[in-house]
Amino acid sequence: MYNHILNNIAKHISLDKEETDHFISFLKPRKVSRKELILQQGEICKYINFVDSGILRAYYPDKTGKQSTIMFAVTDWWITDMFCFIHQQPAMLTIEAIEESIILQLSKESLDNLYIRIPKFETFFRIIFQNAYIREQLRTIQNLSLPAEERYQIFRDKYPQVIRQITQKQIASYLGITPEFLSMIRANKHKK
Amino acid sequence: MYNHILNNIAKHISLDKEETDHFISFLKPRKVSRKELILQQGEICKYINFVDSGILRAYYPDKTGKQSTIMFAVTDWWITDMFCFIHQQPAMLTIEAIEESIILQLSKESLDNLYIRIPKFETFFRIIFQNAYIREQLRTIQNLSLPAEERYQIFRDKYPQVIRQITQKQIASYLGITPEFLSMIRANKHKK
């Protein structure tokens, strides 16, 4: 059950038996069906979630119902609405399971407790947030400087396991283009 | 000289006299003229920079010379090409001073040393990176979901001190729109 998350953590810090048990005692495992929501816009964002298996999608639903896809998370990724989780406020994002998934949830209270009891977790999450920031800075560079064709190619290379599970509309909304434009890009690729 | 940065740090951790001296010994102050580059695309990205005074701009120059503005940093902000700084690789971004500025530079080696000698800095940079990630996640939400008019308004509110110092072209490239479109938005605002 806890192999994936313990391997994820062992990449950056090493825990002894007691620390491992303490950490595991904070995790809430949850099995999520396809299309089930683990966070809904407007709810207090209580958890940061580790994906043990499956695929999740975080999106921003605007007033007209349009969904902008903010991120996907596959096995071994952490996902939440970070602003609302840190400030324990109503979520801006909705997070849904794209396929049946198993997640491990860590509450804000548990995380704060973890930082105090096992300060190595400061190092772990410093690296997790540093990498998340790097990923978003690269995405901003790509969004501002690359044409949609190249951004689609990067997305395909980065998330090969996601691309088969999600709709054209969800990919388009992640890339910030219309589904029609994405359809044109894909048609052109097949012609080449 | 070190008041701004010590206040910035005191928001999240508290250092004793010895720790403060140790931290300060790692900082390289640098005065930068208007339009001077503190990092150029292709150079190894050696430093993370704290802005003591002034304004900096990080941009991605593409092969055609087009500049995409990735971020601005004003007094009290940290700025670098994060991917290249962490991996000590040639920079993707160029960082220039928009007005005469004073920065305090911290090398990767010094930062790694700091984490070991004063582990409280793990907490400090965990919070700095967490906030940077939050800022980028919010920017992605806004970029994908809001019309350019509203994004311009948010930018004006967020960076009132920047807006007077930079060109229309630089704001447009930050918002991912053409200077002509920005000009139209500004003209419409004046009419209202």
Q: In what order do the strands lie in the sheet with A78-79?
A: A28-32, A101-107, A47-53, A78-79
Judging contacts by C-beta atoms under 8 Å, the chain A residues touching residue B132 are: 129, 133
Tens digits of residue pLDDT in A4-47 = 999 999 999 999 999 999 999 999 999 999 999 999 999 999 99
> What whole-number distance in Å separates Cα of residue B84 and Cα of residue B88?
5
- Contact in structure between A55 and A102 (CB atoms under 8 Å): no
For residue A119, the model assigns a pLDDT of 95
For residue B65, the model assigns a pLDDT of 84
Tens digits of residue pLDDT in A111-152 = 999 999 999 999 999 999 999 999 999 999 998 888 899 999
Contacts of B75 (CB under 8 A, 6+ apart): B4, B51, B52, B53, B54
Q: Do B125 and A126 touch (CB under 8 A)?
A: yes
Judging contacts by C-beta atoms under 8 Å, the chain A residues touching residue B93 are: 141
Tens digits of residue pLDDT in A74-92 = 999 999 999 999 999 999 9
- Distance in Å, alpha carbon of A58 to nearest chain B alpha carbon: 10
A133 and chain B in contact, CB less than 8 A: yes
A119 and chain B in contact, CB less than 8 A: yes
Judging contacts by C-beta atoms under 8 Å, the chain B residues touching residue A73 are: none
For chain B, give the number of residues: 192
**Chain B residue with minimum CA distance to A135:** B83
- Distance in Å, alpha carbon of B140 to nearest chain A alpha carbon: 7
> Does A162 fall in a domain?
no
CATH (domain of B86) = 2.60.120.10
Chunked in runs of 10, what are the mean pLDDT values of chain B (192 residues)?
Answer: 95 97 97 98 97 96 89 95 96 96 98 97 98 93 89 89 85 89 84 61
> Does A134 fall in a domain?
no
Question: How buried is B144 (Cβ within 10 angstroms: 0-12 exposed, 13-18 middle, 19+ buried)?
Answer: buried
- Contact in structure between A72 and A99 (CB atoms under 8 Å): no
> Does B183 fall in a domain?
no
Judged against a pLDDT cut of 90, whether residue A164 lies above it is answered with: no
Instruction: Give alpha helix (H) positions in B12-119.
Output: 17-26, 82-87, 108-117
> Does B14 fall in a domain?
yes
- Contact in structure between A110 and A121 (CB atoms under 8 Å): no
> What whole-number distance in Å separates Cα of residue A101 and Cα of residue A93?
19
A45 and chain B in contact, CB less than 8 A: no
What single letter denotes the amino acid at residue A165?
Q
A155 and chain B in contact, CB less than 8 A: no
Judging contacts by C-beta atoms under 8 Å, the chain B residues touching residue A60 are: 141, 144-145
- In the block, residue with structure tokens 């220039």: B96
For residue A134, the model assigns a pLDDT of 96
> Does B144 fall in a domain?
no
- Distance in Å, alpha carbon of A65 to nearest chain B alpha carbon: 11
- In the block, residue with structure tokens 């683990």: A38
> Does A42 fall in a domain?
yes
Contacts of A95 (CB under 8 A, 6+ apart): A37, A38, A39, A49, A56, A57, A58, A59, A79, A80, A81
Cα-based distances in Å from B40 to A131, B60, B109, B125 = 22, 10, 20, 25
What single letter denotes the amino acid at residue A156?
R
* Residue in B180, B145, B144 with CA at minimum distance from that of residue A151: B144
Position A192 confidence tier, pLDDT thresholds 50, 70, 90? low
A150 and chain B in contact, CB less than 8 A: no
Count of structural domains, chain A: 1
Q: Is A147 helix (H, G, I), strand (E, B) or coil?
A: coil
For residue B192, the model assigns a pLDDT of 56
A138 and chain B in contact, CB less than 8 A: yes
Q: Phi and psi at residue B34, in whole multiples of 5°?
A: -60, 135
> Does A127 fall in a domain?
no
Instruction: Give alpha helix (H) positions in chain B.
Output: 3-10, 17-26, 82-87, 108-117, 120-145, 148-158, 160-163, 168-175, 179-191
Residue A191 or B53, more confident: B53
Residue A166 or A13, more confident: A13
Judging contacts by C-beta atoms under 8 Å, the chain B residues touching residue A115 are: 123
Q: Could you tell me the residue range of the domain that residue A103 belongs to?
A: 3-118
Position A63 confidence tier, pLDDT thresholds 50, 70, 90? confident
Among the partner-chain residues A122, A140, A141, the one whose CB lies closest to the CB of B122 is A122
* Residue in B142, B78, B123, B95 with CA at minimum distance from that of residue A133: B78
- Residues B86-92: contacts with CB within 8 Å, 24+ apart? B86/A130, B86/A134, B88/B44, B88/B45, B88/B46, B89/B44, B89/B45, B90/B41, B90/B42, B90/B43, B90/B44, B90/B45, B91/B39, B91/B40, B91/B41, B91/B42, B91/B43, B91/B44, B91/B45, B92/A141, B92/B41, B92/B60
Q: Do A66 and B134 touch (CB under 8 A)?
A: no
> Does A178 fall in a domain?
no
